[in-house]
């Protein structure tokens, strides 16, 4: 009765398992998904999965890692066509939001399982995430060097405020509640940051101009 699964290559089978696991994890979450169900979807038996993945947790990390690698895509390339710190910053924020909007289930999974310290710290996934967020840090530091962005705040803090803020803000949407207007939010966040980020300071700038005006007025008075 039990039809045995057709034999295919290691690579194909791994791809199938990753695909099925990704769908199930995204759909039901990590804890709620069972290895048995993943196996059933692939059309093999549980033991087969353990031929390719040491544990359920390793399978999850593989799923996340594969997705991450695919997602990088042309981020850096797209960025090349955009000039000016503000525009580049807004692009990265918008692009991040777009990823969240287009893959809510998967991003929820990622955020949920990302941090579980035990196996995340020092993992390949952490490396990928670091590489991903490093793009933003670079943009910020370029902006600091070119004088467009104030340099009295660590870029890492700004990075955390941006990604942390976005994650928090998008969470209800990722859980299926409400909409995510990515254009408006990208605009708002950039607008918020931008007035905080520029090198120029409101007070010194105002002071400079006030002094200038006063000087002119004195000249005017003495001339008349």
Partner DNA sequence: TCATTTAAGTGAGTCTAACTCACTTTATAC
Partner DNA sequence: GTATAAAGTGAGTTAGACTCACTTAAATGA
- Angstrom distance (rounded) from CA 177 to CA 174: 7
**Chain residues 194-223 in contact with its own copies, contact rule CB under 8 A:** 194-198, 200-202, 205-206, 209-210, 212-213, 216-217, 219-220, 223
> What DSSP state is assigned to residue 30?
T
Contacts of 197 (CB under 8 A, 6+ apart): 85, 143, 149, 150, 158
**Chain residues 109-128 in contact with its own copies, contact rule CB under 8 A:** 111-112, 115-118, 121
User: Is residue 224 involved in binding its own copies (CB under 8 A)?
Assistant: yes
Residue selected from 18, 22, 33, 190 as contacting DNA according to rule CB under 7 A: 33
Contacts of 220 (CB under 8 A, 6+ apart): none
CB of 106 to its own copies, least distance (A): 14
How many Cβ atoms sit within 10 Å of the Cβ of residue 135? 18
User: Is residue 41 involved in binding DNA (CB under 7 A)?
Assistant: no
User: Is residue 15 involved in binding DNA (CB under 7 A)?
Assistant: no
User: Is residue 116 involved in binding DNA (CB under 7 A)?
Assistant: no
Biggest alpha carbon distance in the chain?
Answer: 109
8 binds, among its own copies, DNA, none (CB under 5 to 8 A by kind): DNA
Q: Please, how many CA atoms are within 13 Å of residue 196, restricted to the half-sphere of its CB?
A: 13
Q: What is the per-residue binding string for DNA in 176-205, x denoting contact by CB under 7 A?
A: ------------------------------
Residue selected from 161, 178, 180, 181 as contacting its own copies according to rule CB under 8 A: 161
Q: Which two tokens stand for residue 67?
A: 């997705």
């Amino acid at each position: 009765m039990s039809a045995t699964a057709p034999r295919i290559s290691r690579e194909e089978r791994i791809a199938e398992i990753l695909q099925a696991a990704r769908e199930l994890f995204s759909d039901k979450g990590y804890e709620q998904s069972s290895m048995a169900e993943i196996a059933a979807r692939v059309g093999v038996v549980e033991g087969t999965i353990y031929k390719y993945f040491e544990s359920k947790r390793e399978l999850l990390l593989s799923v996340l890692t594969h997705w991450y690698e695919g997602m990088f895509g042309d981020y850096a390339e797209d960025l090349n066509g955009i000039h000016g710190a503000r525009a580049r910053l807004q692009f990265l924020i918008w692009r991040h939001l777009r990823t969240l909007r287009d893959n809510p289930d998967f991003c929820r999974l990622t955020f949920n399982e990302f941090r579980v310290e035990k196996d995340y710290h020092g993992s390949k996934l952490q490396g990928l995430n670091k590489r991903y967020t490093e793009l933003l840090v670079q943009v910020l530091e370029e902006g600091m060097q070119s004088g467009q962005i104030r340099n009295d705040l660590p870029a890492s803090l700004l990075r955390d405020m941006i990604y942390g803020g976005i994650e928090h803000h998008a969470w209800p949407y990722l859980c299926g509640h409400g909409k995510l207007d990515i254009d408006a939010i990208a605009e708002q966040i950039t607008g918020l940051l931008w007035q905080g980020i520029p090198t120029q300071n409101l007070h010194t700038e105002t002071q400079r101009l006030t002094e200038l005006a006063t000087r002119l007025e004195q000249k005017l008075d003495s001339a008349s």
